[in-house]
Structure 1
Amino acid sequence: MDNQKGVVFPMVMIIASVFIMFTILMIDQFVIDKKFYKEVEETLISDHLVHLAVNEVTAEWDGEIPKSIQGDISYPNGDVHYKLTKQDVRYAYIEFSSLSKNNRTGRIIILYDKKIGRVIEWIEKLKD
């Protein structure tokens, strides 16, 4: 026992330091992952609002589109505003803008084919 001369304390400090650094690293990773999952959740809610509005608005038409399309739809997770941007003999372009309860916005433009009575193109728009 006389020949150890203080080897145990430095070894304990090194092992404890490694353990503390590993714990701090895991906490930091947890915080980053939590922020990422919250962002993904908000994006999915915004996209879901737009999908609900597109299905609700296009279900009312039965192939016959009104001359002026504009309105707002409220859902428990947010609101969607839609309006007709361009229309010709066969196609109609309708813009949908969603705003979730946490102020996440989403914007799409759909291309609706009047002849076949369904959405044929979905154009995602970035924030302005």
Structure 2
Amino acid sequence: MNNQKGVVFPMVLIIASVFIMLMILMIDQFIIDKRFYKEVEESLVADHLVHLAVKEVTAGWEEDMPEVFQGDITYPDGAVRYSLLKHDGRYAFIEFSSTTKNDRVGRIVIQYDKEAGRVVEWIEKQTG
């Protein structure tokens, strides 16, 4: 036992330091992942609100679509504002903008075919 001359204590410090550094890295990664998942959740909620609003707004239309319209729809997770952008012949372009409770914004423009009574094109817009 006299041959060790103080080797155990430095080895314990090195192993403990490595363990503590790994633990700190794991906690940091957990926090980053948690923020990322919260952002994804907010984005999906904003997208879902827009999908709900498109279904609700276009549900009553067949061929007699109103010439001018706009409005707001409120849901438990946020609100959606919609307005007619362009109305020519067979197609109408309608913009939907959703805002979640945590101020996440989602915007789309749909191209609605009045004769077919369905959405033809779905254009997602970048938000600031």
Distance of 1:17 and 1:50 partners within structure 2: 50
Read off the aligned partner of 2:63 and give its amino acid letter.
G
Within 5 Å, give how 1:1-128 maps onto structure 2: 1-128=1-128
Read off the aligned partner of 1:118 and give its amino acid letter.
R
Q: TM-score, normalised by structure 2?
A: 0.97
Q: TM-score, normalised by structure 1?
A: 0.97
Distance of 1:69 and 1:61 partners within structure 2: 13
Read off the aligned partner of 1:7 and give its amino acid letter.
V
Provide the aligned length of Structure 1 versus Structure 2.
Answer: 128
C-alpha displacement of 1:127: 1.9
Distance of 1:103 and 1:12 partners within structure 2: 50
Unaligned stretches of 5+ residues in structure 2: none
Identity %: 70
Distance of 2:104 and 2:59 partners within structure 1: 26
Read off the aligned partner of 1:51 and give its amino acid letter.
H
C-alpha displacement of 1:10: 0.7
Distance of 1:96 and 1:63 partners within structure 2: 20
Read off the aligned partner of 1:100 and give its amino acid letter.
T
Structure 1 runs (4+) deviating above 6 angstroms are: none
Unaligned stretches of 5+ residues in structure 1: none
SS at match of 1:35: helix
Query: Alignment RMSD, CA only?
Result: 0.8
